Amino acid sequence: MGIAARIEKDEQSRKRLEAAYHSEKPRFMARLRSSGKNLEDAEDIVHDLYVETMERLSLLNSVHNLPAWLNSLFGRRLIDVWRRERTRAAAEEIDVAEETLREIITSTGLDPLDTFVRENMVDALNDALRALPKEQREVVEAQVFGGLTFKEIAEKTGESIDTLTARKRYALRKLSFALRHWIED
């Protein structure tokens, strides 16, 4: 198959996926919301499903019933989410929201203005930043150090704003988790 034919098939697959996204997203969101997920988490799960599928456009040519195929992927994704939550609950791991970082620092009795604490905290955060997946790290760095908005980053990278916000959200969770461990140590 030539390059032009492959590009045409990928474009057809993208259009099929886009149509399936618009038709199936409300159903997926309803299932997630009824299972107790908040709107933000539900959006993340559905968005991740479609991002993962977009990365496999060439496979969609052989899928006859795309909504059914997406539904089976969605079911597997839900099982993964539930297993992860059960594992986290068993390990007593909690999500630390961005706003609570300040509360954690304050509750430890550490003064972030203290030079020693600040230098070590910066080192811990730099280590945690380096440990992030490249895509997540780039979004955080572009906003924090580059002062860019999601719209500017989206224009620069070609990624959707939804993808960028999800990456930042995941990055902040990982950074806050790393900071919590640093504080406990």
Examine the pLDDT at 30 and tell me if it is beyond 80.
Answer: yes
In the predicted structure, residue 158 carries a pLDDT above the cut 80: yes
The secondary structure of 27-61 as a DSSP string is HHHHHHHHTT--HHHHHHHHHHHHHHHHTTGGGGG
Say if 153 falls within a structural domain: yes
Q: Which of 90, 122, 155 marks a domain boundary?
A: 90
Residues 79 and 130 in one domain: no
Question: Could you say which of 57, 90, 123 is where a domain stops?
Answer: 90
* The pLDDT of residue 114: 57
Q: Which residues contact 141 (CB under 8 A, 6 or more apart)?
A: 129
Residue at a domain's end among 69, 90, 111: 90
Is the Cβ–Cβ distance between 78 and 35 less than 8 Å?
yes
Average pLDDT over residues 82-98: 58
Assess whether 67 and 110 both reside in one domain: no
Residue 36 placed within a domain: yes
Look at residue 90 in the predicted model and tell me its pLDDT. Answer: 57
**What digits encode the pLDDT tens for the residues 40-58?**
777 888 888 888 888 777 7
Dig out the tokens for 19 from the structure: 């149509």
Residue 87 has pLDDT above 70, yes or no: no
pLDDT band at 95 (very low <50, low <70, confident <90, very high): very low
Distance CA 170, CA 165 (A): 9
**Domain containing 161: what range?**
100-184
Please state, in angstroms and rounded to a whole number, the distance separating the CA atoms of residues 164 and 154. Answer: 7
Are 50 and 128 part of one and the same domain?
A: no
Domain co-membership, 82 together with 20: yes
> Higher confidence at residue 30 or residue 180?
30
The total of structural domains in the chain comes to: 2
- Asked if residue 95 belongs to a domain, the reply is no
- Report residue 100's pLDDT band, with 50, 70 and 90 as the boundaries: very low
Tell me what pLDDT residue 112 has.
54
In a domain, 140, yes or no: yes
Confidence (pTM): 0.45
Distance CA 149, CA 143 (A): 6
Task: Look at residue 113 and tell me if it is in a domain.
Answer: yes
